[in-house]
Structure 1
Amino acid sequence: MQPVGWAMLAVAALIAPQAAAAEASPQAALDQFADTLGYQLETVDNRPQCPTGIAGCFLTTITLTFPETLPDALPTRGLSLYFSFVNQLPLVESDIFTHRLINGDVQQLTLKPGATLRPGARHVVKLWGIGANFSRAFAMPNAYLVADGVNPRTIAATRAVIDPETGLEALPFAAPMTNEARLATKSDADRTRWLTAERAFAVQAERQAAATTGVAILPKPIEAVQGNRPSVDLGRGIALTLHGVERAAVAPALASLGVAEGGALPLTVRVDPVAIVKPEGYMLDVRTSGIAITAHDAAGASHALRSLAQQAAFEKGRMKPLRVVDAPEYGFRGLHIDLGRNFHGRDQILKLVEAMAAYKLNKLHLHLADDEGWRIEIPALPELAEIGSKRCHDLQEQACLLPQLGAGHDGKGGVNGYLTTADYVAIVQAAAARQIEVIPSIDMPGHSRAAIKAMEVRHARLMAAGKAADADAYRLIDPADTTEYRSIQHYNDNTLNVCLPATYRFVDTVVDALVDMHRQAGTPLRIFHIGADETAGAWVKSPACRAMIAENGGDAGKLTPRFIERVAQGLSAQGLRTGGWSDGMGHTDAAKMPGNVQTNIWGVLHGGAVREAHDQLNRGWDVVLSIPDLGYFDMPYAPHPDEGGYHWASRGVDDYQVFGFMPGNLPANAATIRNTHAEGKAIADEPVLQSGRRIAGVQAQLWSETIRTDGQVDYMLFPRLLALAERAWSPATWAPPYGAGATYEWGDKRVDAVKLKAGWQDFAGRVAAQLPMLDRMAIAYRVAPPGARIANGRLEANSIFPRTAIEYRIGGGDWTRYSGPVGVSGEIELRSRSADGKRTSRTVRVAAPVR
């Protein structure tokens, strides 16, 4: 039952001016109310005096402004306001509203008994959250109204819009954040400062790079030498000859050349693993007499063709003679895309697959399920896709999941959806044609709410049909379990019960379906990623788990490692490798795990990454670095409230930080990467790596909690994914050799700062050369705002990457192309443009001193 206070809305409507009252149906009245209700979310203070009993709080407010006329037919029974807020809310203060957490981030406001709403009234709801909110991107759209007997309606003021200049989603209801003193940090110990235009100018002036004039290939080859003889004209067309490789294996790379076949220029591609000994290695020789490629394998041949395509595009089809000798530093060069939180479909993934191939990434890790969504069709369990892929207002969750992360009430929009079997097969085929391995991921036993709820719908359907045994076959919870817990994302029901045979039957069925999809694609499944991270404290009071808990000395916390070990052994029996996140994997008994598992290290650099990586390397596992400080591309590019992304691991993961990473000597990164408080802290080599241990590679992650559009995917990935591709392929020449037991501090001289700066400048020039290629691939990469300052009355501006077009305007006038220092007065707005001129950066401002 809802509080009866909403009935006071009818009283308020009666006292509204009669001339303004319009007769309408209850539905039309709710629609009108939703369309005219003012709604603003504002982060007020990240450093407030917290209410008694609450530590580490921040204050956000929701301001509701009621229309001057309340519809007289407005339904009052059961009227509630639902919104999403991702932080824990131990206290919500309001003169008229009461608050209730539904689950996860879904919140409900209802009127207090006896409260009165008046036309034109303004009400401020104080949300006391735990943690901090450093970005407007934390605001979730699509708050909505619900009442009995009518359909829910989105509050119009909370809808997201697309900015026509930037192409990015904007949230007009999220108030600007301007008070740096109160909003940029949590304490005086935090040295983070917003990256204003003036501060960006200083940073970029120190790192300023010139445009590339020579070899533009990215990632950087081991050896690339241009000659001075007459140019090679690819416009003549090519005469292709293949030896030791099928055309299909290099067809996408050939297509990237954009050159007609049947021409005069010989292009010979030869696969010879004796001549080129390293996997994926190649030699490219471009001469006036023809182009010769010798590669270890089809992947190496494709990489050579991609390098040729990049350089040919840069030189507009007339190339200087060129000799390239190249091979990757690491065999695992990955990209992880989270489809669970917010869905991104087949076309977007296929576009990313082509971009991965262009920059020599070779592992696509698809996160196909999480608490907020199930994104892959499993024919034997149709409810997984039918129920688990959609979020809407159904508190019983019989038709959909709760509308987490501002998904909206109606189950529509791009955040909903799933990959059909045909979609997934097409992705695997496209990836395989580009020598990219698809690694499917179904997170378990935690992060499994979508699966649990979908299987509950299946259970109810079969029970109603009198098929109790079939209903229980895939039920993933123990209904007698009275354990109370909250996951890190505030769910109390998101963990598979690891003591039920049904859970393992479910895992087998899902894995079998994916194996079959890979078989249909003609590419066998080799590795299955089980997640295994962030498992909440479930099962303690589950009768089904009593025996298993007793077998583990009464410690319910040991059940997750036992689950991981059992699933990993089951996968191994099917000829599959197990992948998982390092926190769950690290708690297993290595002796009970298969010997060839893969672990993704996602500890923060200053918070345990070295310990986890070295410990799990010493177990003999394949270790992939997924460290957030350089690889979580859902983190903001820079510490600024208008840069999107979560910030729990880093306040800013910019292109330079990713480029400068030293994968082969993790402790050394203390010299160049600060902690989340912008402090330089020492990192010790603990535990010491055993001799001969080496990481398998590096992976970028894009978690999608705040990423609802494909344009945002592109923005958050590019161009910093190019920096990760560079680091995964080419050695960091500024890194000192790994030394057992060494400790590194901020600015440590053993890291060669001169080489790092020179390497960055070379890289930045090559990135600028690649931006037109990204434009052609329809990748809406981030256009970084310019740095700017006013010195002696003159505006000066600069960019991260050379030859970026900068525009400025004075006093809201017309935009003018910046070509050099110019005399100005007053406040100046600036922005950058994409290489193709179609998009701009966000606008930044500088002000001339008042005289």
Structure 2
Amino acid sequence: MRNRSRFGWFIAGTMSLIACSNPKNQTPASETLAHPRGADLAVTWGVVENYKKDSVRFGAELTLENKGTVALGKRGWILYFNYVNTVLPDSLPAGVKISRVNGDLAKLEPTDAFTPLDPGKTLVIPFDAEFFAIKESDAPLGYYIVFTDDRGQATPPEPLGKASIKPFTNEKQTTRVPIDVIPVPTAQTRFDENKALKQLPPAEVSPLVPTPVLMQAQTGQFSLTSAVTIHHGAGLEREAGFLAASLEKLLGAKPGVVAGAAPQGTASISLTTGSITVGGQAKQSGDAAYKLTISPAQGVSIVGSDVTGVFHAIQSLRALAPVAAYQSAQATLAFDAVTIEDAPRFAYRGMLIDVARHFQTKEEILKVLDVMSFYKLNKFHFHLTDDEGFRLEVKGLPELTEVGSRRGHTLDSRDFLQPAFGFGPDPAAKDNVGSGHYTRADFIEILKYASERHIEVIPELDLPGHARAAIKSMLARHAKRMAANDAAGAKEFLLTDLEDKSTYVTPQFWNDNVVNPCLDSTYKFINTVIDEIVAMYKEAGAPLQSIHTGGDEVPSGVWVESPACKALIAKAPGDGIESADDLSGHFLREYSKILTAHQLITAGWEEIGLKKVKVGDKVEKQPNPVFANSGFRTFVWNNIWGTGEEGNAYELANAGYTVVLSNATNLYFDFAYDKHPLEPGAYWGGFVDTRKPFEFVPLDIYKNAEKDQFGNPVNPALIANAAKLTPEGAKRILGIQGQLWAETVGSQALLEHYVFPKLLGLAERAWAPDPAWASEPDAAKRATQVGEAWSRFANTLGQRDLPRLDHLSGGIGYRISPPGARMISGKMEANVAFPGLAIRYTTDGTEPTSSSTLYSGPVSVSGVVKLKTFNTRGEGSLTSTLDTASGG
């Protein structure tokens, strides 16, 4: 399981779907019962307490307020909303019931005991739900109401007028379970976290992220103007043009570009490929290595082991430019003389963006690609399909985007998919980022843009689970063809056995999201989609080495009652298909055959390399020998301490699988930065800030096993018994990848908030040589070394990279860390997570702005002080509040 549900690690397949019966879609009635408008109703959600009744459940309240002039009656309405937590029916008061429709869509209905809600009145509905809730991002979303007349005919859905969240003010609201010892951040705790960080002089701040293999300062400076010509060798025309366009933004004018070598004695920028050494090791084509030399007289010399190496050197040159030039072009750029030898540590340096749960525009994807390339990441894992959306236009299958890329109120999903993650009932609403797709032209443009930046786009066609959008699209196609009396055409691309009576539920509460592996039409669908994907890559001239198959979170119970599967099992026991349990392997073999026919590598989540084996009374997951050494590329996410699967990555690598480390504890960027209730994000595997990817040790992940998701020390026995990486296994670690799952990413701003600056820590670990602290056996010494390294890196971000991100690629809306503060000897001291950013504060109760008093050192203050960190664009962080009377 990849377990992207908020509490997937805890569920472990034990969740049950709350049964409910749904009426068919109805046409609006001409006569309706009197009722308030949706806009007249307001709802408030709040957490009362976690760990209620000494169990892993929490108490909450929904408060419904009628601001209209007509009562909300005893019947004739259903309130819908999206909610990932399962409400426990026995906890509800008389008068209402809450049930799950499917996925995260829930509904609240009146029972016979409901008392009409009169105008001006409120109704408080207490309830218990499974697990816990500690953040505003845990709240239900997307409330809308559907009224019916006395004949049961539904009116168009109406969004509610207002939704709000009660504040989290006490420990019962923010402590998940008794062993949860992670505090909610305060001004004092933030100060303590930052106090080891000292602002370094600019000369001591590293100018490059990621850190190069070798960097030696030389004497003097080179002054670059637009009069300096770029000279390039054969095959480097595109790179020279990219550099010229980049320098134009910094200089205000574009340098000239000339093929061939520069005249002797002329200061220039020279781009060539050839033999080089990096740190004394010879590099060849395919190593993406480079040597960059800046000298006062000759200018800039770039020699790459290949074209990609030249491009990486160009990005380093851009990073060495004065940060001020990114804010405002300068006619002359002063570069310190330097010699750099550099090459990536890992061949795979990736970032996943999920656009299925919430859609992101083409423009935002191009922006992410631009910044990825600046930090030398080279793989873009494009999660294009999932239960909640199919985002890519496919010739011949228009329903995939006509139906599968749109979300709105529906009970049959024939016209579009049901609401998910809170963007309401209208599929055409401007703010409904649940809807959207990339046209063929859009996708080709993205591929070209990525290819120009030496990034490979890895599309994911997530199957057989996580496929509801595709399934419902093909069912819509089936209905359309059947209505046209085309029975054969209707079945051509079906992904489900219409007679299948199997029941199941996924960690995300879907009961209809797994394709059937026993239908020929399933594989015709896959072939058709892959044919089109391959054609688009060919048209774009972009590389395509693999397609990610997904392969994760297929629940128990699927296909058991499928007549098509029963027939396949009956005729194919000799092929290793003896029961429904064998069908996942059968599907993977068939899917892989299709990919192999296109000369593509089969990639997928860790599940594609694992099988369930009974060991004594327990069932364990072990590497599947059937696919070992077959070239399968496994993306391993599960290292949540205490699950028993911490060693999956190393077990698979040791067994012959190529592995991309995608570890949740350090590389899931949708995890919240910290526990603050206003800090959005998931946290089922802990919290992930920028330091988490920075301190990740790819070839010894147990070095990161210090605290579990509740803040407690990890049991040493767990580490002692976990699989260790062998020398041969280490050769199969292809690289590392950050993941942004998008359940809570409801906007472009949130995408950038989650990804940046975490991506910089990822880039450092994916590219830079293994630091000395990674192999330090003494835990205390290692902690000291990591702290010192982090202080240098934090200074680099605070003084160079974050100010540059304020303007790079049009400006990045990265997350700004709130400041820390404390009272000592009667004065307030404050600090920041990234030294170099500004702190501003107020003492009159107002929120700090970019013009508030600038903190410059210990200061005498009294009362309640509010502080924020600000960037160079005047954007601020969350507020830190310091009560000077209590000191915290």
Structure 1-normalised TM-score? Answer: 0.89
- d(CA) in 1 for partners of 2:244 and 2:346? 24
Change (3 A) 1:608 1:440: farther
Match of 1:121 in 2: 121
1:367–1:440: 8 Å Cα contact kept in structure 2? yes
Deviations 1:341-385 (A, max 9, x none): 111110000000000010000000000011111111111111011
Match of 1:582 in 2: 606
| Correspondence 1:755 to 2:785 | yes
Change (3 A) 1:638 1:33: same
Match of 2:470 in 1: 451
Q: Partner of 1:701: helix, strand, or coil? A: strand
- d(CA) in 2 for partners of 1:524 and 1:302? 17
Deviations 1:8-42 (A, max 9, x none): xxxxxxxxxxxxxxxxx989986x63223221111
Match of 1:662 in 2: 697
2:222–2:296: 8 Å Cα contact kept in structure 1? yes
Shift of 1:397: 1.2
2:355–2:742: 8 Å Cα contact kept in structure 1? yes
| Correspondence 1:216 to 2:236 | no
Q: Partner of 2:685: helix, strand, or coil? A: coil
* Residue from 43, 51, 55 that aligns with 1:39: 43
2:577–2:583: 8 Å Cα contact kept in structure 1? no
- d(CA) in 2 for partners of 1:569 and 1:619? 22
Change (3 A) 1:339 1:605: same
Deviations 1:797-842 (A, max 9, x none): 11011111111111324732212222222221111112222x1111
1:514–1:525: 8 Å Cα contact kept in structure 2? no
1:831–1:841: 8 Å Cα contact kept in structure 2? yes
| Correspondence 1:432 to 2:451 | yes
- Counterpart residue type for residue 94 of structure 1: P
Change (3 A) 1:409 1:211: farther
- d(CA) in 2 for partners of 1:441 and 1:323? 40
- d(CA) in 2 for partners of 1:457 and 1:595? 37
Deviations 1:681-728 (A, max 9, x none): 332363343333321111000000011100000000000110010010
- Counterpart residue type for residue 661 of structure 1: F
Match of 1:723 in 2: 761
- d(CA) in 2 for partners of 1:273 and 1:573? 36
1:2–1:78: 8 Å Cα contact kept in structure 2? no
- d(CA) in 2 for partners of 1:211 and 1:414? 44
Q: Partner of 2:796: helix, strand, or coil? A: helix
1:444–1:531: 8 Å Cα contact kept in structure 2? yes
Shift of 1:639: 1.8
- d(CA) in 2 for partners of 1:677 and 1:131? 17
- d(CA) in 1 for partners of 2:491 and 2:436? 27
Match of 1:765 in 2: 795
Shift of 1:77: 6.8
Shift of 1:78: 3.5
- Between the two proteins, what is the percent identity of the paired residues? 33
Deviation larger for 433-442 or 78-87 = 78-87
2:639–2:648: 8 Å Cα contact kept in structure 1? no
* Residue from 120, 139, 153 that aligns with 2:158: 153
Match of 2:270 in 1: 268
* Residue from 555, 560, 566 that aligns with 1:546: 566
Shift of 1:444: 0.9
Match of 2:398 in 1: 382
1:285–1:323: 8 Å Cα contact kept in structure 2? yes
- Counterpart residue type for residue 679 of structure 2: E
Deviations 1:734-764 (A, max 9, x none): 34549xxxxx8xx824x62333222212211
- d(CA) in 2 for partners of 1:818 and 1:736? 36
Deviations 1:272-296 (A, max 9, x none): 1466615111111001121101111
- Counterpart residue type for residue 532 of structure 2: A
Shift of 1:211: 5.2
1:734–1:753: 8 Å Cα contact kept in structure 2? no
Change (3 A) 1:191 1:548: farther
- d(CA) in 2 for partners of 1:685 and 1:244? 54
- Counterpart residue type for residue 542 of structure 1: S
2:74–2:111: 8 Å Cα contact kept in structure 1? no
Match of 2:288 in 1: 280
Structure 1, unmatched stretches of 5+, are 5-24, 159-172, 739-743
Change (3 A) 1:224 1:28: farther
- d(CA) in 2 for partners of 1:615 and 1:845? 47
Shift of 1:76: 8.5
Deviation larger for 361-370 or 237-246 = 237-246
Match of 1:9 in 2: none
Shift of 1:571: 1.0
* Residue from 164, 175, 190 that aligns with 2:180: 190
2:673–2:679: 8 Å Cα contact kept in structure 1? yes
- d(CA) in 1 for partners of 2:269 and 2:645? 46
1:548–1:559: 8 Å Cα contact kept in structure 2? no
Match of 1:170 in 2: none
- d(CA) in 1 for partners of 2:197 and 2:338? 29
- Counterpart residue type for residue 463 of structure 2: M
1:3–1:113: 8 Å Cα contact kept in structure 2? no
- d(CA) in 1 for partners of 2:518 and 2:625? 21
Deviations 1:530-572 (A, max 9, x none): 1111111211111111144463575423321221122123311
* Residue from 350, 365, 381 that aligns with 1:334: 350
* Residue from 182, 193, 196 that aligns with 1:203: 193
Change (3 A) 1:147 1:212: same
Describe how 1:598-609 pairs up with structure 2 within 5 A: 598-606=633-641, 607-608=643-644
1:515–1:524: 8 Å Cα contact kept in structure 2? no
- d(CA) in 1 for partners of 2:628 and 2:530? 18
* Residue from 666, 669, 674 that aligns with 1:633: 669
Change (3 A) 1:498 1:3: closer
- d(CA) in 2 for partners of 1:208 and 1:88? 46
Match of 1:312 in 2: 321
Change (3 A) 1:569 1:748: farther
Aligned length: 797
1:602–1:609: 8 Å Cα contact kept in structure 2? no
- d(CA) in 2 for partners of 1:501 and 1:212? 64
Change (3 A) 1:593 1:28: farther
Change (3 A) 1:90 1:484: farther
- d(CA) in 1 for partners of 2:685 and 2:461? 23
- d(CA) in 1 for partners of 2:195 and 2:32? 58
- Counterpart residue type for residue 209 of structure 2: L
- Counterpart residue type for residue 699 of structure 2: G
1:82–1:106: 8 Å Cα contact kept in structure 2? yes
| Correspondence 1:790 to 2:799 | no
Note the aligned Cα RMSD (angstroms).
Answer: 2.5
Match of 2:859 in 1: 822
- Counterpart residue type for residue 696 of structure 1: L
Structure 2-normalised TM-score? Answer: 0.86
- Counterpart residue type for residue 320 of structure 2: Q
Match of 2:11 in 1: none
Deviation larger for 544-553 or 534-543 = 544-553
Change (3 A) 1:605 1:86: closer
2:632–2:657: 8 Å Cα contact kept in structure 1? yes
- d(CA) in 2 for partners of 1:207 and 1:29? 64
2:693–2:762: 8 Å Cα contact kept in structure 1? yes
- d(CA) in 1 for partners of 2:34 and 2:857? 57
- Counterpart residue type for residue 490 of structure 2: A
- d(CA) in 1 for partners of 2:226 and 2:563? 75
- Counterpart residue type for residue 350 of structure 2: G
2:41–2:66: 8 Å Cα contact kept in structure 1? yes
Match of 2:231 in 1: 241
- d(CA) in 2 for partners of 1:225 and 1:27? 79
Describe how 1:30-429 pairs up with structure 2 within 5 A: 33-49=37-53, 55-67=55-67, 69-71=68-70, 78-91=76-89, 93-117=92-116, 118-148=118-148, 150-158=155-163, 173-180=164-171, 182-210=172-200, 212-214=202-204, 215-229=206-220, 231-257=221-247, 258-259=250-251, 260-262=254-256, 265-273=267-275, 277=283, 279-289=287-297, 290-314=299-323, 317-411=333-427, 412=429, 413-429=432-448
Q: Partner of 1:108: helix, strand, or coil? A: strand
2:323–2:803: 8 Å Cα contact kept in structure 1? no
- d(CA) in 2 for partners of 1:362 and 1:146? 47
2:45–2:140: 8 Å Cα contact kept in structure 1? no
Change (3 A) 1:445 1:2: closer
Change (3 A) 1:3 1:415: closer
- Counterpart residue type for residue 159 of structure 2: T
